[in-house]
Structure 1
Amino acid sequence: MAVAPLRIGNASGFYGDRFDAVREMLTDGPLDILTGDYLAELTMLILGRDRLKDPGAGYARTFLRQMEECLGLAHERGVRIVTNAGGLNAAGLADALRKLADRLGVPVRVAHVEGDDLSPHHPDALAAHAYLGGFGITAALREGADLVVTGRVTDAALVSGPAAAHFGWAPDAYDRLAGAVVAGHLLECGAQVTGGNYAFFRDGDVRRPGFPLAEIHEDGTAVVTKHDGTGGFVDTGTVTAQLLYETAGARYAGPDVTARLDTVRLTREGPDRVRIGGVRGEAPPPTLKVGLNRLGGFRNEVTFVLTGLDIDHKADLVREQMADALATSRPADVRWDLVRTDRPDAPTEETASALLRLVVRDPDQRTAGRALSGAAVELALSGYPGFHVTAPPGRGVPYGVFEAAYVPQDAVGHTAVLHDGRRVPVAPPRDTVALEDVPQPPLPPPLPPGPVTCAPLGRVAGARSGDKGGDANVGVWVRTDDAWRWLAHELTAGRFRQLIPESRDLPVTRHVLPNLRALNFVVHGLLGEGVAAQARFDPQAKALGEWLRSRHLDIPEILL
């Protein structure tokens, strides 16, 4: 007898996402499971600093406030909730939720998942957490939990765990698990799959996108959609964009299964409905990723505003005047960036101005502060004409460093802790396969020669970019077969380096995904030591894809 599809919605893509999304997802249409993703690499650092101040902290307090408002509503509607809002302290959040439920008189069974915390093995890290899979969530739901709190699990586990519980999938049901992992990856960033941050945002009304849901079937296929009447839109483009986000090659590895992204097939099933099928899965790798978050030191910055004429000479003068102070204090890292936002004969003072940004980093807060603060302020009456800064420099603030490590799958004590205190251990996978790159598939035949026009790449291609530690990824896709024949041959790794000068001295890996008419580029080391270190203007590479789309190259006129 066929098992009914499982409707899983998501109400959070990060810590700080739309507060009202939980209520909206519960009231705008039917659901079986509601998930919330609150964790990112940067969030773990933030929660780690919170816990230094208060050992009882370390979880997403926003979620507790959302549950105060909506826990009763979820119970009335029979919706179970799964979230990684536990952060560094899943047990603490679970206890807080039990107390909240008692106070509200809502009879819910709260469980949590633990085993991800490896901090005792990394005493020099502020937080060290393994990315667990979904079977701890599965165990908690199978034992009757209404609300499951986790710490660091993979984002997709919030969906694959409930799907395995609902359908009774075994750990070696790789194709089905892979389908759920892909669905989970599509939901994890909330409104990014319903038109948010979308290259072709003018295709629909994205002023307030609704949050997404997936109808998952017993065979692992799924339909991504949203509640009727909510904003935004879902089509094969929005799904492709999110599928490429923060991924790399054809193999998308997780603790439970490696999903083959090169097998994914997207089919528009109707308005705001895209079916995901064909997903193949393989045994997971033998190791788990561990996110290590450390305090890297202290950071300080000042931005000088240069207005009108002689911008380059004014910038040279500031650098020369600051040189003695920097030479005396000798901060470990000094970076100057001149951003030419000015234009000739500008109609406003702001559009006549450029920005010269100085950033210093050092292990010593006094050095990071002293190097800028006093010297920069002293230039107020003895600097370039029109001297002013966007804000006075401060004392230096701490910044973090993210590093990925790996441990054997059996090195963690993955455990579901049930509402009655029982502990259910989760066994590591029986079979594993070392991760290897998939050979590049054959490219389509190139377009025949014809007239071309120099135009922005974005006239024919979409893109979405993001970060993974110190690496940036840029997914680029097109919407027609002819455009794919051109893109696959034109946008090589070498061409990418030409269009994105920051990448010219860095390793750039190109991955080809013909089913999606897509290329995925990984720029290794572009983001330095990760987002918390703020090594560049756009520290998470969120707009790197849009920069690429704005670059001009010769495009066949038949595509324009």
Structure 2
Amino acid sequence: MSDTPIRIGNVSGFYGDRFSAVREMLEGGELDVIVGDYLAELTMLILGRDRLKNPDLGYAKTFLRQMEQNLGLIAEKDVKVVVNAGGLNPHGLAVALRAAIEKVGVDRSVAFVNGDDIVGRAAELGLGTPIAANAYLGGFGIKSALDAGADIVVTGRVTDASLVVGTAASRFGWGYDDLDQLAGAVVAGHVIECSAQATGGNYSFFTEIEDMARPGFPIAEVAADGSSVITKHDGTGGAVLVGTVTAQLLYEVGGPRYYNPDATARLDTVELTQEGVDRVRISGVKGEAPPKNLKVSLNHLGGIRNEFEVVLTGLDIEAKAELFQKQFEAALPERPAELTWELARLDRADADTEEQASAMLRCVARDTDPKKAGRQFTGTAVELALASYPGFTLTAPPGNGSPYGVFEPGYVDAALVPHRVNQPTGVTESIDPSPLRTDPIVDESVPSSTSTTDWGETVDVPLGTLAGARSGDKGGSANIGLWVRSDAEYAWLDETMSVDKLKELLPEVADLTVHRYPLPNMRAVNFVVEEVLGRGVAENVRFDPQAKGLGEWLRSRVVAVPASLIQKGN
């Protein structure tokens, strides 16, 4: 046990992130631990299909290849590895890792954490009959494995922040009652979990960062009191700024309380300070007891999804779209259960190029019957090629469609979910849930400020002239976090950006339920839009199925901004 801050570097934010990140982080400077997040809703479906084909799979194969190439360097530098790459089969990944370690000939021990996979008990637990059901475990299984001397710990579905929570808890000997420290680690884990998003990736003000060619991956220096400094290796691209950290803190969150299995972090207590070049301190985080229930990722097989897209060029775009839609629906042998149309008006008048003169009409079908959403669906479009609007063309040949999954969250008492650690010695240890668990406090949506400041003269400019944004999916819902960089700007943002104003600026969400949560410490306002993504990313109901661009659309909308704020350097 030590009071020296632990340097935790992230090497993955999703299954498919930069493959070379492990070597870059190991060679770039000193680290105590590397962590990596490989799982997401869609990833669990991908791993589920892998496991159906081969019961020995179901884990992130990319991670195994990264380890095969870097085990020698990991052993040489004596760096620990903690990742959730075990997916649906952490035991299988542990077996494969041990074989790789033996082949390379290094001295590294492997532990794995499981128990999250409760699909076999889903019906008994009132969760229906999904094809996959994985509870989000906390970090104390990881802590136990590291305490027992494991060098590499692979897990199934733990919360993204748990990788850092468990690692820091092991270093500093935290227990369940160290709520402020645990909450601080939750916040640090949330900041670095999405890799380069903390160092300039997906950052609204990216043009202000000098080198974005290849952003470095983030490092959290977590201290014994739970505070941390977010940084990156010297000489790497991107930047670590209060802004980049704020943006990531707003990613995929709801109200001020950020629930995790080991502690609830109060995001409204977070204090951010630019401590130096590429160094942002996170302090002041307060923790509360964790919720009684664990969140469960439930994936169901939704059916078959298929789509086609036709190009409409030149004049009479809407009339052409109407003609084709009418002809197509009349010609369909069997109508799919769901049939949606989307006309994207990308065209412009008197265009200099044919592409700029063209719009796109997309049709999407979903059905549990493969025939209705299969080749006969796209084939019907092809049959109209010589009988429809002038200039008819398809962007791709007809296809058979593909299975899609439907995600929904579930909740189950943590006491009913086994949390097991399989130590390097072969001993299996059970981890009890936090004894402090309680019914969660639901944060209430807050209307805009009641202040009516006289801001004086205004100028119509895009909202993004002042505000940054970060948006993302939360199951079928999405969040949009808006933040600004001065107290005066925040006073204006809090007064201006009401739920009604959001709906006015984003007409596509006008009929949906929207919650609003101000976060003054971060000069931010977070919105959660319910059901904007249907039944989750795998259903792919929107042009932007993970809501990644929703915040940037909002920033592009024109609003009346006080001229005084624009004149202060924006």
Superposition TM-score tier, normalisation by shorter sequence: over 0.9
How many angstroms apart in 2 are the aligned matches of 1:323 and 1:418?
A: 59
Are 2:362 and 1:357 aligned?
A: yes
Give the secondary structure class of the aligned counterpart of 1:329.
coil
Q: 1:172, CA displacement in angstroms?
A: 1.0
Report which stretch shifted further, 362-371 or 342-351.
Answer: 362-371
Contact 1:302–1:372 (8 Å) recurs in 2: no
Contact 2:448–2:494 (8 Å) recurs in 1: no
Are 2:410 and 1:382 aligned?
A: no
Tell me what 1:19 maps to: 19
Tell me what 1:519 maps to: 525
| Letter matched to residue 188 of structure 1 | E
TM-score, with structure 1 as normaliser: 0.98
How many angstroms apart in 2 are the aligned matches of 1:436 and 1:501?
A: 31
Are 2:260 and 1:261 aligned?
A: no
Distance 1:38 1:2, change over 3 A: closer
Are 2:433 and 1:419 aligned?
A: no
Q: 1:2, CA displacement in angstroms?
A: 6.3
Residue correspondence of structure 1 range 252-401 to structure 2 within 5 A: 252-326=258-332, 328-401=333-406
Q: 1:453, CA displacement in angstroms?
A: 1.1
Are 2:183 and 1:166 aligned?
A: no
Are 2:474 and 1:465 aligned?
A: no
Q: Deviations over 1:201-253 (max 9, x none)?
A: 01112121000001100000000000011000000000000000000100000
TM-score, with structure 2 as normaliser: 0.96
How many angstroms apart in 1 are the aligned matches of 2:222 and 2:484?
A: 27
Give the secondary structure class of the aligned counterpart of 2:488.
helix
| Letter matched to residue 39 of structure 1 | L
Match of 1:451 among 422, 434, 457: 457
Q: 1:446, CA displacement in angstroms?
A: 5.0
Tell me what 1:184 maps to: 189
How many angstroms apart in 1 are the aligned matches of 2:184 and 2:375?
A: 54
Contact 1:444–1:485 (8 Å) recurs in 2: no
Give unpaired runs (5+ residues) of structure 1: none
CA RMSD of aligned residues (A): 1.3
How many angstroms apart in 1 are the aligned matches of 2:443 and 2:52?
A: 43
Q: 1:371, CA displacement in angstroms?
A: 4.8
How many angstroms apart in 1 are the aligned matches of 2:455 and 2:74?
A: 59
How many angstroms apart in 1 are the aligned matches of 2:64 and 2:403?
A: 27
Match of 1:502 among 504, 508, 512: 508
Give the secondary structure class of the aligned counterpart of 1:22.
helix
Residue correspondence of structure 1 range 187-226 to structure 2 within 5 A: 187-204=192-209, 205-226=211-232
Are 2:95 and 1:90 aligned?
A: no
| Letter matched to residue 82 of structure 2 | V
Q: 1:485, CA displacement in angstroms?
A: 0.8
Residue correspondence of structure 1 range 53-68 to structure 2 within 5 A: 53-68=53-68
Q: Deviations over 1:15-37 (max 9, x none)?
A: 00000000000000100000011
Report which stretch shifted further, 434-443 or 182-191.
Answer: 434-443
Q: 1:433, CA displacement in angstroms?
A: 2.2
Distance 1:45 1:2, change over 3 A: closer
How many angstroms apart in 2 are the aligned matches of 1:376 and 1:311?
A: 18
State how many pairs are aligned. 559
Identity %: 59
How many angstroms apart in 2 are the aligned matches of 1:158 and 1:411?
A: 22
Tell me what 1:99 maps to: 99
Match of 2:487 among 481, 490, 510: 481
Q: Deviations over 1:367-404 (max 9, x none)?
A: 10145222101111112111101112311111110011
Q: 1:448, CA displacement in angstroms?
A: 2.3
Give the secondary structure class of the aligned counterpart of 2:374.
helix
How many angstroms apart in 1 are the aligned matches of 2:447 and 2:272?
A: 19
Contact 1:462–1:549 (8 Å) recurs in 2: yes
| Letter matched to residue 266 of structure 2 | R
Q: 1:294, CA displacement in angstroms?
A: 1.3
How many angstroms apart in 1 are the aligned matches of 2:291 and 2:74?
A: 36
Tell me what 1:534 maps to: 540
Are 2:115 and 1:136 aligned?
A: no
Residue correspondence of structure 1 range 33-72 to structure 2 within 5 A: 33-72=33-72
Distance 1:426 1:314, change over 3 A: same
Q: 1:59, CA displacement in angstroms?
A: 0.3
How many angstroms apart in 2 are the aligned matches of 1:437 and 1:263?
A: 17
Tell me what 1:234 maps to: 240
| Letter matched to residue 385 of structure 2 | A
Are 2:130 and 1:125 aligned?
A: yes
Q: 1:441, CA displacement in angstroms?
A: 10
How many angstroms apart in 2 are the aligned matches of 1:256 and 1:325?
A: 57
Contact 2:2–2:172 (8 Å) recurs in 1: no
